[in-house]
Structure 1
Amino acid sequence: GRLDLTLQNLDSSMVAARCDCVFSCLPHAASAEIVKPLVDGGTRVVDFSADYRLDDADTYAQWYGHTHPDPQRVGSTVYGLPEWFGDAIPSAKLVANPGCYPTSAILALAPLMKSGLIDAADVIVDSKSGVSGAGRTPKLTTHFPECNESLSAYNVGGHRHTPEIDQILRRATGKSPTVVFTPHLIPMDRGILTTAYARPAADVSEDQLFDALQAAYRGKPFVRVVQHLPATKDVAYSNFCDITVRLVRGRVILVSCLDNLIKGAAGAAVQNFNLMFGFPETTALL
């Protein structure tokens, strides 16, 4: 009795007739089944699943374990990371909302990789996420007695965000990266802290690395390049991603933080929606 909304069966033609934009939050594969008729019918879509993030249907099938329901659109869909693909988003009919881990890794690595300051062929990404990043499906590893007061790595060498990080870095930078990605679950609700390690590709100083980050994100309202080491509390419940860099013993170390539920999901979708429909990018986010 709290709501007067009517629960209806999903009818793509009815949705297309009534909606200017749809945010699809369905699981992988199920989302593409709905997105295809919506886009064909002229409705613009922001898709939260991984169905349209990758370059090709074969890679998708390899990592997600099933044939893609809409293979002809795979590889041609705009990737919804406005800081790097913002020029393509306003005219897009379909935008693939990025994964949370890839957002934290790509935003940190792309400026230095594109400018040739780090070796794209030797990159390690170590990410730690709050338990909400593991999804809502009940499982033993996210059961409170299992994850509380415990830190654990998972899907080592096999996490589905690995090809997304590789392929989107390639699109953004023109390089051919090789990324070793290891995610971890930490006993908190939300937030991602990513530490990325790379070899410098030239004789560079820490100041040059920092300047390259600042130059890449000048005028980008949701990326803050900071001098201090960022923490997840700095960005909680916000659409910000904080990034810094250090040069230690011949290695470039990048640290980035974001809220996996906001900049890593819902906030990014609103940011994409704003660009698609001509609103200021910061509308409803600042």
Structure 2
Amino acid sequence: MVQHMISKINIAIIGASGYTGGELLRLLIHHPYIDNIQAISTRNTNKLISDIHRDLGGDTHLAFTEHINLDIVDCIFLCLPHGSSAMWLENNTIPHHIRIIDLSSDFRNSAFPLDKNEERSFIYGLPELYKSLYTPSTDIANPGCFATCIQLSLLPLRNSDISKDILDIHCTAITGSTGAGTLKSDTSHFSWRDNNTQVYKPFQHQHETEIHNHLFKQDFTPTFHFIPMRGSFTRGILACSYFTVKQHIQKDDLIHLYSSFYKDMPFIVHSKDSPDCKRAINTNKFFYHIEIINDKVIITATLDNLLKGASGQAIQNMNILFSFPEISGLSIKSSVY
């Protein structure tokens, strides 16, 4: 039997000194199909990566550079502030054969499923929904962390027998401080965040647009009520969604619906008990639990906002685009204790 070798690729990370850039570096320096990495940071040029991302001490001697060398890159990760990725692409001429994976919100909210950016076509990069549409010439708009967690919580319902009976969905979700990025703010300051919790942007969080654009389609158009919260921890999202069902439904039938929908999805895990954040932290996994109490269906879910909610999902998308095994570089254990 002849085994075909998988060619390694070269990548560049624009904005490599932030949280998502650091997580990409942590995973990609050990990725079996990555050859060369360029870590671009205008603020930290010539500094060792491990001087900024200290957890990488002893793992790499790479240094940050100011400019990208397009002659030795196959895929670019954009880890820039929201609004800056589109500007970066306007200011830089990128050869069409180079793939772009954007972790900002700049290309997420276009009409289904593509956004035309001159010669580039961005697809919304929720692989559990759209990976069958990926092509070698596709660029990826990586989803937001809340949007990923909530959509994965509800996606199997969309074409189910009960979809038309779901009129309202209520969701409360809490996120860690890393969701706000590395820039200092009053609500990410330790003295404020520690031992503290706050509701913010109720019914008007920016990720709601993604959810409406990509989840609520066709006959699945419930009214969505979302309460986001800031938590007193660094990373992770815990989301609880519930809705009323008119018809009687068995819990086992709903679990079967979800298990069938996600049967070929390597990072989706059904939990027999209500999941806690720690089992998902440091992994690309999404855990969900289903409960039915009286006429209420409750879906509790958790993921790591920096991995399945950002950098891990970006690598998952890269793996699919370049025909690598989907789990490559992402077989990592949670930090439970």
Work out whether the TM-score is over 0.5.
yes
Deviation larger for 129-138 or 267-276: 129-138
1:262-281 residue CA offsets vs partner (Å, 9 max, x unmatched): 11111000000000001000
CA distance in 2, matches of 1:92, 1:107: 26
In the other structure, the counterpart of 1:79 is 124
Residue 32 of structure 1: how far off its partner (Å): 1.1
Structure 1 residue 35 corresponds to structure 2 residue 89:
yes
Q: Is contact 2:172-2:241 (8 Å) kept?
A: yes
Structure label with greater radius of gyration: 2
Residue 216 of structure 1: how far off its partner (Å): 0.9
Structure 1 residue 206 corresponds to structure 2 residue 251:
yes
Structure 1 residue 167 corresponds to structure 2 residue 225:
no
Q: Is contact 1:113-1:120 (8 Å) kept?
A: no
CA distance in 2, matches of 1:285, 1:179: 32
Residue 5 of structure 1: how far off its partner (Å): 4.2
User: Which amino acid is 2:73 matched to?
Assistant: C
Deviation larger for 31-40 or 249-258: 31-40
Q: Is contact 1:83-1:220 (8 Å) kept?
A: yes
1:160-203 residue CA offsets vs partner (Å, 9 max, x unmatched): 011111111035x7622431111111111111000011222532
CA distance in 1, matches of 2:210, 2:256: 27
In the other structure, the counterpart of 2:107 is 52
In the other structure, the counterpart of 2:172 is 126
Matches within 5 A, 1:74-223: 77-118=122-163, 119-170=165-216, 175-200=220-245, 202-223=247-268
CA distance in 2, matches of 1:39, 1:84: 28
* Residues 253, 276 of structure 1: alpha-carbon distance in 2 compared, 3 angstrom cutoff: same
**Equivalences, count:** 267
In the other structure, the counterpart of 1:61 is none
CA distance in 2, matches of 1:4, 1:262: 22
Instruction: Report the TM-score when normalising by structure 1.
Output: 0.85
Residue 207 of structure 1: how far off its partner (Å): 1.4
Residue 135 of structure 1: how far off its partner (Å): 1.9
SS of 2:292's equivalent?
Answer: strand
* Residues 236, 38 of structure 1: alpha-carbon distance in 2 compared, 3 angstrom cutoff: farther
CA distance in 2, matches of 1:167, 1:4: 40
RMSD of aligned residue pairs (Cα, Å):
2.3
In the other structure, the counterpart of 1:63 is none
Residue 120 of structure 1: how far off its partner (Å): 4.7
Q: Is contact 1:100-1:260 (8 Å) kept?
A: yes
CA distance in 2, matches of 1:91, 1:120: 37
Residue 125 of structure 1: how far off its partner (Å): 1.5
In the other structure, the counterpart of 1:60 is none
CA distance in 2, matches of 1:122, 1:175: 11
Q: Is contact 1:39-1:93 (8 Å) kept?
A: no
User: Which amino acid is 1:103 matched to?
Assistant: T
SS of 2:242's equivalent?
Answer: strand
The percentage of counterpart residues that share the same residue type is 31
User: Which amino acid is 2:180 matched to?
Assistant: A
Residue 247 of structure 1: how far off its partner (Å): 1.0
* Unpaired segments ≥5 residues, structure 1: 57-70
* Residues 19, 40 of structure 1: alpha-carbon distance in 2 compared, 3 angstrom cutoff: closer
SS of 2:256's equivalent?
Answer: helix
CA distance in 1, matches of 2:329, 2:150: 25
Structure 1 residue 229 corresponds to structure 2 residue 268:
no
User: Which amino acid is 1:34 matched to?
Assistant: W
